[in-house]
Amino acid sequence: MAQVSHAETRAALGFGGIRTVLVVDDSRLQRRILVASLKKWGFEVLEADSGDAAIGICAQGLPDLVLSDWVMPGMSGLDFCRAFRALESDQYSYFILLTSKSEKQEVARGLDAGADDFLIKPLEADELRARISAGARILDMQRELSEKNRMIETALEELRVAHDAIDADLMQARKIQESLVPELSREFGKSRVSLLLKPCGHIGGDLVGMFSPGVNRLGFYSIDVSGHGITSAMMTARLGGYLSSNHFDQNVAMEKRFEKFFALLPPEQVAEMLNSRLMADAGVEEYFTMVYAIVDLRNGHLKMVQAGHPHPLMLRADGTTEFMGEGGLPIGLLPDVTFQRIETYMKPGDKLLLYSDGFTECSLADGGLLEEDGLRGMATNCATTHGGTEFLDDMFWRLTQSMPPGKGMDDDVSAVFFEYNGP
């Protein structure tokens, strides 16, 4: 009950969280006067007749408040204050120096040593009580801030653990997504298909691929799913199954005939099938753009569909270039959409570049975008010296070099490069 009444007394006098007070003075009389007032106000009081003795007491546990005389034999109050502040502790204690010195220079020395306040002797009880109340308010605010910081640190640690777990999951998801593109370059007779896939984060919403159900028959595609992150990556995984290069019986772009071989379906029919599948799934809100092409390697006959994807760039062997297609609608946006076929013949030495808008909509250091003209110039320059994956790597390197310094990619970057070299 006594402890409760002491707490109630301290609370009534506005002493907040101050419970223990250490009085340090070589004068027994001064200590008795101070101790009497402090105990009357409900404090638990500790006494020391020197700085050395006070340090020994503080080493066992810091008091909430220290009242220390400045002038003492041996260790002065100023030296004791410095030694007190040097003690390792998470707790902050309020320190008041008792002194007859009132000069500004002496006050500055005390503040530099770590004192929070000063009282000029002889002490007045009302002033002492007011100074302790002021110190209590400061301590209460400091302790409240420390508790909030502790809570923030705990929350940050919990977030770090959660972030590490998510990061590990995303790294594993990236490996799974990379498995959808098992090879970045493959030769088909004299011709070659090369792939580039660079997500702007751990995982992305772009997908590229190729497959060949038989000699002289080849299909390849470039896909860009709307949005970014996990949802888009999950959609690319689904599309990778629809356009599998390993399991032809699951590939919607193929049809088994006579129970003997697989044939490539017309590109526009594949786009319409994919559109129907996405529209039939009410749980899917994403859509995607795509260019899907098939080619007969015997004669270079190219058939292609463009569904909202950037215009494919044809690099002819004679040095001319052209962007192909009229755009078309993305897949999964509207039901019952028909898609138009694009046809042309490629001659030996012709090259076709499919790419995502991560290229053309890339922000440049001058504030503009790369756009189609920039892509055309970049591809023309790269094609004069490189082929295959080296061509795509050079394209990507030049793209990153044109970005503002220190700025990463805003979007996934992907491409398919087909080089036709005759039957």
Residue with token string 């991560």: 358
> Are the beta carbons of 372 and 311 closer than 8 angstroms?
yes
Distances from the Cα of 319 to the Cα of 111, 153, 314, 315, angstroms: 80, 62, 10, 7
Is residue 248 within a helix (H) or strand (E), and if so which, with residue range? none
**Count of C-beta atoms within a 10 Å radius of residue 360:** 16
Q: Give the pLDDT score at 1.
A: 40
**Count of C-beta atoms within a 10 Å radius of residue 86:** 9
> Are the beta carbons of 253 and 264 closer than 8 angstroms?
yes
Domain 179-419 homologous superfamily, CATH: PPM-type phosphatase domain (3.60.40.10)
> Are the beta carbons of 188 and 212 closer than 8 angstroms?
yes
Q: For residue 238, what is the DSSP state?
A: H
Q: Give the pLDDT score at 35.
A: 93
Is residue 78 within a helix (H) or strand (E), and if so which, with residue range? helix 77-86
Domain assignments of the chain as residue spans, ordered by start: 2-148, 179-419
Intervals of the chain under pLDDT 70? 1-14, 101-104, 177
**Topology of domain 2-148, per CATH?**
Rossmann fold (3.40.50)
Q: Give the pLDDT score at 105.
A: 76
Q: In angstroms, what is the C-alpha Rg of the chain?
A: 39
| pLDDT tens for each residue of 249-262 | 999 999 998 888 99
Residues in the chain: 423
